[in-house]
Structure 1
């Protein structure tokens, strides 16, 4: 095992006899570089391995030390080197200038060897402690990021499992979930530049909308199979039961919020989408009959995404419509079923919708 290397000290002093003396006081404990002028000092400070500490003589008037401090601190390569500046007694103004220029400490002449060694050792220990603290901070950040990523992956898996359970009881498929969440994200990205939507549709919130979208029909798990899987038209009584899937979905997510004792943006979006995605812009939807901006943005996005996907998908009670037909039907519903701005956004990104539909198309049997 190799012994630990000594710390490297750069000493800059224009007087040869002082330079030699300072070197002699420190060379037993440290590796030493010597420079008898500022230019050489800057050059040696920039060489690898870089000094762990620099000891600078301020000169008779104290100005040279402050100038060299500023030059060392101005370079990214040498800015982190702790600087100790030697001053003659009675140069209080020069000492203040050195501190202002970035000196870590000053030492007054006449010099005591014990003082010099103690100050050098103290600054080196402090620098090492700072490096360790930065390293620990970086390590902690990585650990937090890794843990957050793991929790996020777990959340995504649980959400996906719950959504798949709901969808596979109906005519829907896992690909329907994937398509819808991509449609919602595409609409949100298109709308986030508009003043009406900018406050809600930040990049972070769009990511959460994408994660929450698969839960839009989670309440269907509580609908009886006789109604949920009925191929023909539902009676008024049966449709009244079917409409309750929005309430069941909201209650399930609200129960999670109640158990946690708080909510967050993801749970809010999931609850809004589950409860309000069947509302219509003109107020004729369910379960509350909300209209216009009273319908949450998340649910207005889902309404367009969900209906588009239902239109282009084959069901036991209908054929699959073409993209053009689905687009026209949604355009006709603008201002009645759908928020006109969301419809306009879909028309703008229709090629992206087509690409999503193709990417997650149903397998051919």
Structure 2
């Protein structure tokens, strides 16, 4: 993927050449892809031909001023949200209200302070990203759930298990610089997309009430590749979306095994994305402890035994250590988010999730 595609694209609009050059230089040094225009009309022409994420515009300009530019942006560009910051020497309360009413999202008074401008830009990136992320995750997760109605609260349980494991691993010294608050939020939000590829699996296989044949299992295994393809298509449209990259890694690799015997690629050890290694434990624990169309529920004690015995084979030993630290919480989640069906203590075999 081209590095330029992953950068936040900013359009700076100002008829003052010196101010324009200063902002362009500063933001370029901070790693943004910067475009410039001398007035609102020129800015609109650029917006028609470039994908711009943030507009920083002066208020007072010839031809078309900053307020008019903000109004045009809100009226004409609806494919994705463009975050607008007004940069001006005006600072009275009524002027701030007028600027925000025109469609601006934020307001800075000149002379601008570079660190403050950067902070406001990053705030805009977070806000727009949260809106896009939550909408996409909700829509895709519900799509996946619609194809497998008997799993009920499965998505909620898996996200709780995944969050709990990530939090426990964040306390391990070796993951202190890897698993931060953002990672934990992302895995909580994206883990429900692990089986998005099941939308492409035929009902005769997905909903079969019994053990799958070898050929049927090969068809079922394709859900990992279908999920990865679906999320790769979304990534082409939103290449900077970190949540889509994590979701793609999870969908593609949550059935890989630590010893290399999993699918679809036979990855092993740390070549398996970390988020997928975490969701693998969460997904298997849930498959074991809940009733499915092809099996009754195992006890939480039996599920714990399976997870611990699979350390270093199916599962990453570090994730299993995290599981040991929060296994009591897992049991609580089993009951808190129980499906509205009669619980069973029977133990049967079945292979849809393995």
Q: Same fold (TM over 0.5)?
A: yes
**Aligned equivalent of 1:140, options 106, 116, 127:** 106
Partner of 2:301: 324
Deviates more, 1:316-325 or 1:193-202: 193-202
Shift of residue 131 of structure 1?
A: 7.5
CA distance in structure 2 between the partners assigned to 1:158 and 1:255 by the alignment: 13
Tell me the alpha carbon deviations over residues 176-201 of structure 1, each in whole angstroms, 9 at most, x when there is no partner.
10110111011001101223323321
Root mean square deviation of aligned Cα: 3.0
- Residue 335 in 1 paired to residue 301 in 2? no
Change (3 A) 1:171 1:338: farther
**Aligned equivalent of 2:167, options 189, 194, 202:** 189
Does the 8 Å contact 2:210/2:295 carry over to 1?
A: no
Does the 8 Å contact 2:133/2:243 carry over to 1?
A: no
CA distance in structure 2 between the partners assigned to 1:238 and 1:341 by the alignment: 33
Q: Which has the larger radius of gyration?
A: 1
Partner of 2:233: 255
1:168-179 mapped onto 2 (5 Å cutoff): 168-170=146-148, 172-179=150-157
SS at match of 2:194: helix
For these two proteins, the number of residue pairs brought into alignment is 237
Tell me the alpha carbon deviations over residues 52-92 of structure 1, each in whole angstroms, 9 at most, x when there is no partner.
xxxxxxxxxxxxxxxxxxxxxxxxxxxxxxxxxxxxxxxxx
CA distance in structure 1 between the partners assigned to 2:134 and 2:334 by the alignment: 21
- Residue 309 in 1 paired to residue 286 in 2? yes
CA distance in structure 1 between the partners assigned to 2:316 and 2:201 by the alignment: 28
Deviates more, 1:280-289 or 1:345-354: 345-354
Shift of residue 211 of structure 1?
A: 1.0
**Aligned equivalent of 1:208, options 186, 197, 200:** 186
TM-score by length of 1: 0.59
CA distance in structure 2 between the partners assigned to 1:291 and 1:144 by the alignment: 36
1:339-354 mapped onto 2 (5 Å cutoff): 339-354=316-331
Does the 8 Å contact 1:216/1:274 carry over to 2?
A: yes
Tell me the alpha carbon deviations over residues 218-262 of structure 1, each in whole angstroms, 9 at most, x when there is no partner.
0000111111111122222211111110000001111111123x2
CA distance in structure 1 between the partners assigned to 2:176 and 2:241 by the alignment: 19
Does the 8 Å contact 2:162/2:187 carry over to 1?
A: yes
CA distance in structure 2 between the partners assigned to 1:143 and 1:345 by the alignment: 36
Does the 8 Å contact 1:249/1:275 carry over to 2?
A: yes
Change (3 A) 1:229 1:328: same
Runs of 4+ with deviation above 4 angstroms = 128-137, 141-151
CA distance in structure 2 between the partners assigned to 1:350 and 1:319 by the alignment: 21
Partner of 1:272: 249
SS at match of 2:208: coil
**Aligned equivalent of 1:284, options 253, 257, 261:** 261
Unaligned runs of 5+ in 2: 1-88, 108-119, 343-354
Partner of 2:211: 233
Partner of 2:142: 164
Change (3 A) 1:334 1:348: same
SS at match of 1:349: helix
Partner of 1:180: 158
